[in-house]
Structure 1
Amino acid sequence: MNSRLSTWIILGLTLTFLIGPFLIIIAAALSAGNNLAFPPQGLSLKWFIKVFEVESFRASFGVSIFLAIFGTLAALVLGVPAAYAMTRYRVPGAETVKLIVSSPIIVPGIIVGLALLQYLVIPLGVGIGPALFLAHTALILPYAVRVVSASMENLRVDMEEAALLLGCNRFGAFRRIVLPNIRGGVLAAFILGFVTSFNQVPVSLFLSGPGLRTLPIDMIAYMEINYDPSVAALSALLAFMSVGIVFAAERFIGLSRYV
């Protein structure tokens, strides 16, 4: 009995540690007061309404959506062929290639952002928009390669070989046999990349500039001037969006099988 009680206590403390900050943010967002505080000063939905009235939030949300969608698509265009090559061929130095591809995950985002700013944006005069796009694509690429590789390793090779024996060329076999069978992994990689890009802070912090900021960076800049609960309301909405996307992905494609 004591063992079962201890288990429930540990589980409760763990859930409190994980979910507690999220609940505090929701409570602060529902405050009727004019300052960000907990516990809330009354209850009101006015700060959720204000989120949609702030022009900078709308503009930066569009930037984040663009980077998340097209940066992930670009990473998949590069990552799917790379995953195919590493799982179907004996690539010289394959382990080194995997390490290089994984470097954006291993290296802290602050270092990646500073390096891109110092050696790409400043000396080459690359604009803020292209720099952000390249940075987000590079950050998502490792997830695309890893998730798609895991999906391809579970695909029987003889299915592709049968298509080749029946006269299909390599690209045709990939398009007709391989790609339809790994579409779950590709979709899982897209969802993971989208969420990762949308919530990216360290790299975007170095590469954002006047007139072009991602939503997380715009939220930080907003809090430097205003300290009202609208940022908490926006944080709650973004958390609900991310959780909803992940739950939907788990429900329809089994996201946990790929990550």
Structure 2
Amino acid sequence: MNRVATWAILGLTLTFLIGPFLIIVIAGLSAGDSLAFPPQGISLKWYIKVFTVESFQASFAMSMFLAIFGTLAALLLGIPAAYGMARYRVPGAEFVRLIVSSPIIVPGIIVGLALLRYLVIPTGVSIALALFLAHTALILPYAVRVVSGSLDNLRVDMEEAALLLGCSRMGAFWRVVLPNIRGGVLAAFILGFVTSFNQVPVSLFLSGPGVRTLPIDMIAYMEINYDPSVAALSALLAVMSVGIVFAAEKFLGFSRYV
């Protein structure tokens, strides 16, 4: 394959990947009152407006809460699970890994419908709690897999040396294991945060009056208002996600863990 064909394929690939993002960014700069591309003039008013919409503020706070604390909860469950499967012979370990990975394998629409039908309706649990539990369950597979990868790359003799020197198993975990896998833990947190913040199918089923994540609130907003503010907000969220992943790659070597 000659150089011209190579560059042509590369250009088409980049256009396919980056093109939609550029269209959204430019559409958000429209000076008109309706979402359109090409834009009707250039203005930053819609990028400014997204910070003044009260529903966006409330749903952004909810999404941040779920992304941060849901990921922390998943790590609290996932790190011990990954450590146990890496260091001990757990009966049916492969089956356990399959069960843990099921939220990734099963479509989100099915997970959301099942949680609504068999958790929220029968128990009467609050929508906010149901969302928290759902996001924690969705992030748990990422936490287990990323942390497991870090543990597989950690030399076992380091932990054994700490045990031979009189350290307890728990002490060896806190003083030797955890500091050496902190890069993997941070990578799992970032991956879980981005996954939770941008999650749609499950959140769509578990949202209710006054309790919405930002992506669901954007969908509801577009049903009533068809202005460029949604494009502007989408562009800002995309920049935030890309910025987080870029920073993680630069300082943590994110691609080594995922």
Q: Tell me, yes or no, whether TM beats 0.5.
A: yes
The answer as to 2:28 corresponding to 1:34 is no
Q: Give 1:209 shift.
A: 0.3
CA distance in 2, matches of 1:246, 1:167: 40
Q: Percent identity?
A: 84
RMSD: 0.5
Where does residue 184 of structure 1 map in the other structure?
A: 183
The residue that corresponds to 1:165 in the other structure is: 164
Task: Please list every run of 5 or more consecutive structure 2 residues that lacks an aligned counterpart in the other structure.
Answer: none
Deviation at 1:198, TM superposition (A): 0.1
- The one-letter amino acid paired with 1:25 is I
- Residue 50 of structure 2 is matched in structure 1 by 51
Aligned amino acid, residue 136 of structure 1:
H
**Counterpart Cα distance in 1 of 2:58 and 2:205:** 19
Q: Secondary structure at the match of 1:38?
A: coil
What are the Cα deviations for residues 169-223 of structure 1, in whole angstroms up to 9, with x where unaligned? 1000000000000000000000000000000000000001000100000000000
Verify: 1:22 aligned to 2:2, yes or no: no
Q: Which residue of 2 aligns with 1:235?
A: 234
Name the amino acid aligned to 2:186: L
The CA distance in 1 between the partners of 2:218 and 2:126, in whole Å, is: 22
Question: Could you say which residue in structure 1 is the equivalent of 2:205?
Answer: 206
Match of 2:254 in 1: 255
Aligned counterparts of 2:225 and 2:37: Cα–Cα separation in 1:
17
TM-score relative to the length of structure 1: 0.99
Residue pairs, 1:46-195, within 5 angstroms? 46-195=45-194
**Aligned partners of 1:134 and 1:76: how far apart in 2?**
13
Query: Which consecutive segments of 4 or more residues in structure 1 shift more than 6 A?
Result: none
Say which SS state the counterpart of residue 2 (structure 2) adopts: helix
Note the C-alpha offset of 1:96: 0.2
Amino acid paired to 1:106: I
Q: C-alpha distance in 1, partners of 2:105/2:131?
A: 19
Q: 1:87, 1:10 → 2: CA distance? A: 42
Query: Shift of residue 3 of structure 1?
Result: 1.5
- Counterpart-to-counterpart distance in 2, 1:156 and 1:183: 15
The residue type paired with residue 86 of structure 1 is M
Residues of 2 paired with 1:86 and 1:141: CA distance?
A: 15
The one-letter amino acid of 2:200's match is V
Count of residue pairs brought into register by the alignment: 258
Whole-Å Cα distance in 2 between the matches of residues 6 and 243 of structure 1? 29
Letter in 1 for 2:193: F
Cα offset, 1:4, TM superposition: 1.2
How far apart in 1 are the matches of 2:252 and 2:49? 35
Cα deviation code 1:97-133 (max 9, x no counterpart): 0000000000000000000000000011111011000
DSSP 3-state at the match of 1:118: helix
2:139 maps to amino acid: I
Report what 1:7 is aligned to: 6
Q: Structure 1: give runs of 5+ residues left out of the alignment.
A: none
User: What's 2:223 paired with?
Assistant: 224
